[in-house]
Structure 1
């Protein structure tokens, strides 16, 4: 159920504002249910191309998109007057890309990484929950997803090594 008291931008507003368009994951954050999952799904085609980069370049892209994300998420949050509006999904996209850093190739691993990332992002085990509640602005919006990605990447890499 969508909370009608939280402002929801229209598709037209997103198209007029590059900041909102990116923060809302090219419109995927407008999904009426599970916008974070739809934002993570939007990250998949980008990951497909990223996975072919050398590790240093892949990581550089993730660092740059995370830094840009601090601005995008903060600006979108201020424009909407809501901290970490559910439709802001740039953080989920970057979180997924970080989860998949150095992941084994294949769609099975891509799906496994997606599920792991979403589980940690939704469950928010400590210190993710603490960061989510106490760190505000664009940095806070990005940081809880970066931490969730760290947990997800660790489990993914341990699973890959175990299956190895």
Structure 2
């Protein structure tokens, strides 16, 4: 069970870029939930992945030399679902349809791209968490990256809807 959670059911073993594969899987699962009208599953999944990650990652890392092995991707899943929650909750509240190729489809692109950007770049507090070198740091840097990506997505949506969209019409 620890291995399944830490590697998100083996997705962490995909190469190259296991974190990107895990983020993509998280977005696709989030889109599946939202397309079924189950928007609330995204923030619920974010909480569950975060709690399970804080449980599983220390146990998975016990006795290993590498403090952040690439196959551990539950942190990316948690962070990606946190970022996507900033889309899912407003979409649910406004009755928006988030489709993969139709509807408000760009709404899932910004959280995905911004999360990957912040997770790789690791500015400010994200980098500080990553440099902890322990199991909590493995989870925290992605939780922070998810929060940054979520806020960034809201800012970009606001700019688009308030500035760009009226100008294009």
TM range (shorter): 0.7 to 0.9
The one of 24, 37, 62 aligned to 1:41: 24
In the alignment, the residues of structure 1 paired with residue 12 and residue 44 of structure 2 have an alpha-carbon distance, to the nearest angstrom, of 25
- Poorly superposed stretches of 4+, deviation over 6 Å: none
Q: Give the drift of 1:76.
A: 1.5
Q: In the alignment, does 2:144 pair up with 1:147?
A: yes
Q: Where does the alignment leave 5 or more consecutive residues of structure 2 unmatched? A: 92-97, 101-105, 162-169
Tell me which residue corresponds to 1:12: none
Per-residue Cα deviation, 1:43-98 (whole angstroms, up to 9, x for no partner): 1232124433455x643432232111111122222254421111100010111100
Q: In the alignment, does 2:85 pair up with 1:101?
A: yes
Tell me which residue corresponds to 1:26: 9
Q: Where does the alignment leave 5 or more consecutive residues of structure 1 unmatched? A: 1-17
Pairing of 1:52-63 with structure 2 (within 5 A): 52-53=37-38, 55=40, 58-63=42-47
Q: How well do the aligned residues superpose, as a CA RMSD in angstroms?
A: 2.0
Q: Give the drift of 1:109.
A: 2.2
Larger radius of gyration: 2
Aligned partners of 1:73 and 1:84 also within 8 Å: no
Give the TM-score of the pair, scaled to structure 1: 0.78
Tell me which residue corresponds to 2:157: 160
